[in-house]
Amino acid sequence: MNVDSALPTFIAESRELLREMEAALLECEQGVAGSEAVNAIFRAAHTIKGSSGLFGLDGIVAFTHVVESVLDRVRANTLQMDKELAAVLLECRDHMEHLVDAVAESKLDDLQLAGKGEGLLHKLNARTGGSGTAHETKPSAATQATPSVAGERWQVSVKFHTEVLRNGMDPLSFIRYLSTLGEIVSLQLQTERLPTPEDFDAEACYLGFEIELASTETQQRIEGAFEFVRDDCTLLVQPKVPAATAVVEQRATAEASAKPGKDIKASDNRSLRVDGDKLDALIDLIGELVTAGAATTITARKAGLSELNESTLRLARLVEEVRDQALKLRMVQIGPTFSRFQRIVRDVAKEIGKEIRLEIGGAETELDKTLIESITDPLTHLVRNAIDHGIETAEVRRSRGKNAEGVVRLDAYHDSGSVVIEVVDDGGGLKRERIVAKAIERGLIADGNGLSDSEAFGLIFEPGFSTAEQVTNLSGRGVGMDVVKRNVNALRGTVELDSKEGEGTTVRIRLPLTLAIIDGFLVGVGGSSFVIPLELVEECVELGDEHRSADGDQRYINLRGTVLPFIRLREMFSIRSAASRRESIVVIRCAGKRFGIVVDELLGELQTVIKPLSRLFSRIRGIGGSTILGTGQLALILDVPSLLELCLNTRQVTQNVQRRALTE
């Protein structure tokens, strides 16, 4: 086997299996799992053990074999999977992950790691009444000389296909792994397929083996030793029987294998693992194609040829379809990310002595893989806050008439072209009065009058709001919350918080579906162009002369009976050209709030390839990126969440000034 090229795949697949194993073990520990969860744990351990054997990773094979044996007893109902056993198996699972990490870092000879493994196996055997150790699976010379495995005798016939070597497989590695399942009593090499010297191909395989195996394993387990090479061999595993009977059975099996549809598993496996960098490169190329297509469309319009215009329109539709399909390749379900928090909730709750359960909703909601990777750290902080500072102890909850077990819920759903992620707890909630008092004390606000609940609770996201002097009820709720907000805003998202004292808290994160390409709405101010994410645009209305005061102090209009605050891009970015005679307001809905953006021109919809700003300009407020238009002109992509925050802050300042003027 080509170890250098296949080992990264083994590491990635092992880590994925370990995540599945962890989720199933947590279900078992909570007492809500059935036989399918136990089978999933067993399959994960068995697959990791088998793959490790192919690479000659004896340390992983030895440790996992003992774990697998315990799980086999659970499947056979001779051992009960209770809370204590699940906890020990979780520790074993963690050690398996450390072993896989050691393979990735080439540190398998770590003595401390090996010693920890032996200690865990002794702990596992003490819990299950077993006596096995990791050394049981390591074959020695004495073991091979004298069969020591009691059980049934199996006849294993395997003929490797000629392409097996070209496919990167080493036939002998499968034979070595077979020896871990029992005792190879005899092995005969079959060479009848060897060609004449002039027809011999050095890259082809002509080997076959007849093996007699003494093993207590089932036929399915023995066949599983060849799972990764089933497409490249002809395999027959059967109990050791008289020769005449064996010939009849072998002929029947050969006839069955010749029928179409025998290997259903291989035909149904339509998934393909693609390197993330290759996928990112594809998205970048499609982005350039979008830009080039826009330039072609503009050129066609200038040429005034109807046939050329029709061709460019058809090309634009195809490019849009290719773009959508390419972006779907990066969309993954958020469920696996949510499931990882089961372990965080379990460990933190156990550490601080609380009874807490994690509930998950919207696991099938899809999100760009890049976003999922970036949002994991903020979610971890929010979940830890909910556990440590949101949910009360069991005694306090009982005194308040609540269930002793607190609940943290992670939920995700689509809303208006965005993805919303919620972290909800049923704890003690936040106290508005204390938050406002602390904000006034720190000079964040002049007074709390006129603040809505969401605006008051949002104060905990301000930098420096939380300090060591903060009251216990708020302790930790603000520590690092400004970092959470900053990270979410960097993803063109928003974060808001709702809470009811005594009932719980909800933190709501709103994110775009993707970071690469978006549908945008192009507007102009003076000679500058700006792009607004199209899914946030609600409508466009003309700004009447009565709202265009000479001094530009007015910051709101009456839109069909409701107050609509707005900001002027001309003032915000110090654009010096004179305002046009006819200005328009683009009405935006973001995070459940509405505000307007005053512009000179409405230039229409377009597909926008997002280019990040350099570090020099990354802190400019209100700008989230840039794009190149079909004309070659640069357009800035507006950071709508920060504009909304600016608009609301400006409105609050105006209200405070008006209120003070009235009181004076």
If we measure between CA atoms, which residue out of 375, 370, 374 comes closest to residue 279? 370
Q: How many CB atoms lie within 10 A of CB 628?
A: 19
- Who's near 338: CB < 8 A, 6+ residues apart? 360, 363, 410, 412
Q: What are phi and psi of 110, to 5 degrees?
A: -65, 110
Amino acid letter, 532: I
pLDDT recorded at residue 271: 65
Average pLDDT over residues 497-506: 90
**Segment 96-122 mean pLDDT:** 81
Distance in angstroms (rounded) separating the CA atoms of residues 615 and 612: 9
Label residues 484-508 b or e (16+ Cβ within 10 Å = b). Answer: bbebbbebbbbbbbbbeeeebbbbb
Give the residue with greater pLDDT, 255 vs 370.
370
Q: Per residue in 333-362, pLDDT tens? A: 899 889 889 888 988 888 888 999 999 999
- The residue among 485, 465, 488, 487 whose CA lies nearest residue 475 is 465
Q: What would the pLDDT profile of 635-650 be if each residue is shown by its tens digit?
A: 898 888 778 877 766 5
| pLDDT greater at residue 378 or residue 624 | 378
> Mean pLDDT of all residues in the chain?
79
Q: How far apart (Å, rounded) are the C-alpha atoms in residues 518 and 635? A: 14
Q: What is the DSSP letter of 611?
A: B
Q: How confident is the model at residue 398 (pLDDT cuts 50, 70, 90)?
A: very high
C-beta of residue 555 within 8 angstroms of C-beta of residue 651 = yes
**Residue closest to 370 by CA, chosen among 215, 249, 512:** 512
Structural contact between residues 232 and 164, judged by C-beta atoms closer than 8 angstroms? yes
Please tell me what DSSP assigns to residue 390: I
pLDDT of residue 549: 57
Amino acid letter for position 479: V
Contacts of 333 (CB under 8 A, 6+ apart): 363, 364, 365, 366
Q: Which two tokens stand for residue 314?
A: 């058809």
At residue 651, the pLDDT reads 55
- Token code pair at residue 663: 């009181």
H, E, C per residue of 91-141: HHHHHHHHHHHHHHCCCCCCHHHHHHHHHHHHHHHHHHCCCCCHHHHCCCH
Q: How far apart are the first and last CA of the chain?
A: 85
Q: Flag whether pLDDT at 146 surpasses 70.
A: no
Most confident of the ranges 412-416, 488-492, 569-573, 605-609: 569-573
**Cβ pair 533, 447 in contact under 8 A:** no
The answer to which of 30-39, 148-157, 340-349 has the lowest mean pLDDT is: 148-157
- Which pLDDT value is given to residue 250? 43
Structural contact between residues 45 and 60, judged by C-beta atoms closer than 8 angstroms? no
> What residues pair up with 495 in beta bridges, in sequence order?
509
| 554 pLDDT above the threshold of 80 | no
- Beta strands across the sheet bearing 183-190: 183-190, 208-215, 152-160, 233-239
Tell me the helices (H) and strands (E) count for the chain, helix number first.
Answer: 21, 21
Question: Is there a contact between 429 and 500 (Cβ–Cβ < 8 Å)?
Answer: yes
Q: For 314-453, where are the E strands, in sequence order?
A: 331-333, 356-360, 366-368, 406-415, 418-425
**pLDDT grade for 544, boundaries at 50, 70 and 90:** confident
> What are 34's two structure tokens?
């059935």
Torsion of CA 534, 539, 545, 550, to 10 degrees: -40
Is 21 in contact with 37 (CB distance < 8 Å)?
Answer: no
Q: Higher pLDDT residue, 652 or 164?
A: 164
Q: Tokens 């050969």 identify what position?
A: 254
Q: Which residues of 94-127 are buried (b: 16+ CB within 10 A; e: fewer)?
A: ebbbebbebbeeeeeeeeebbebbeebbeebbeb
Report the greatest alpha carbon distance in the chain.
111
Q: Which residues contact 168 (CB under 8 A, 6 or more apart)?
A: 1, 2, 5, 6
DSSP 388: I
Q: What sign has the CA pseudo-torsion 568, 574, 576, 577?
A: negative
Please enumerate in sequence order all residues whose Cβ is within 8 A of that of 74, keeping only pairs 6 or more positions apart, or say none: 38, 42, 80, 81, 85
Model confidence at 151, pLDDT cuts 50, 70, 90, reads low
pLDDT score recorded for residue 405? 92
Strand 593-599 and strand 584-590: the pairing is antiparallel
